[in-house]
Amino acid sequence: MQILCEVIRELMERRELTGSQLAEDIGLSAASVSRIVTGQSRPRQVTLSRLMKRLCTSKDEEQMLIAAYESKDAEGLPLTPLLSEAANAQAEEERVRRFMEVKAQSITFKRSVARELDKSGIAYRQDVTEKLVVTDFLLEHGEQRIALECKFNLHRDMEKAVISARLVRAQFNCDRVLIVVPFYEEDDFRGLEHEEEICILALQDLAEILDSRSTS
C-alpha cells in the first residue's frame, strides 16, 4: 500500500497541480500543503474531504486516498493546522452533517431488514457480539446458522464489508453470511472475490434466499 504523501503526490500529478495551486483550492497555506505532500503531517478530516473533491475523479481514486489516510503509516503523523478555524467551520459542519445523514440512512436500512425478517416469521437475534466481533443479525434458520451484515452505502469500501463477513463467519461458526444491500447491480461489485459462503444480495431478495436455503 502506498503511503499517504505518495498518493497525494500521484493524484496531484494526474491533475497537473502544483502545491501552491492545491493549497489555494483547498484553503490551506502553501507551507501546510508542503508538509502534507512531504510526509511531515497528516491532513484533518475536513482537509481530506477537500483533497478528495479536488484530486479524485473516480471511486478508485477516492478509495486509494482513503486507504492511505487510514493506514498505520499515517497514524503517527501530527495533524496539519487549519489556516483559519472560522473559515473552515462551515466545511467541518457540512462534513459532520453528511456523516450524520449516512448514519441515519444506515439505521433506517437496518430497521428495514428487521421488518423483512419479521414479515417472514424468521427468528433472529440482533446486534450480537462475541469477543469484539459483532454482526447485525444472527439467524438459526432450518439447519443453518446465517449472519446478516447490513451495508447501506454499497459504493464505499465493499472490500471491508467482505472481510468483516469472513470474520463474522469464523467467529460465529456460520454456514453463510449474507451482506444485505439496498439494491444489487453486478457492475457495483465487479472485481470483488466471490465466495460460496459469503453472498451479496438486495434487500428485496432476502426472503426468497432464506426460503430457498431452508428447503434446500
135-141: which pairs have CB atoms within 8 A and are 24 or more residues apart? Answer: 135/168, 135/172, 135/177, 136/110, 137/113, 138/172, 138/174, 139/210, 141/210, 141/213, 141/214
CATH topology of 4-83 equal to that of 104-215? Answer: no
pLDDT in tens, 79-135: 766 555 555 566 667 767 888 998 999 999 999 999 999 988 888 999 999 989 999
Write down the domain spans for the chain.
4-83, 104-215
Strand partners for 145: 140
Q: Looking at domain 4-83, what is its CATH homologous superfamily?
A: lambda repressor-like DNA-binding domains (1.10.260.40)
pLDDT in tens, 34-79: 989 998 888 888 888 889 999 999 989 999 999 888 887 766 677 7
Strand partners for 176: 146
**Spatial separation of the C-alpha atoms in residues 96 and 164, rounded to whole Å:** 25
Overall fold of domain 104-215:
Restriction Endonuclease (3.40.91)
Closest residue by Cα to residue 11 from 67, 52, 46: 52
Does this model's pTM top 0.75?
no
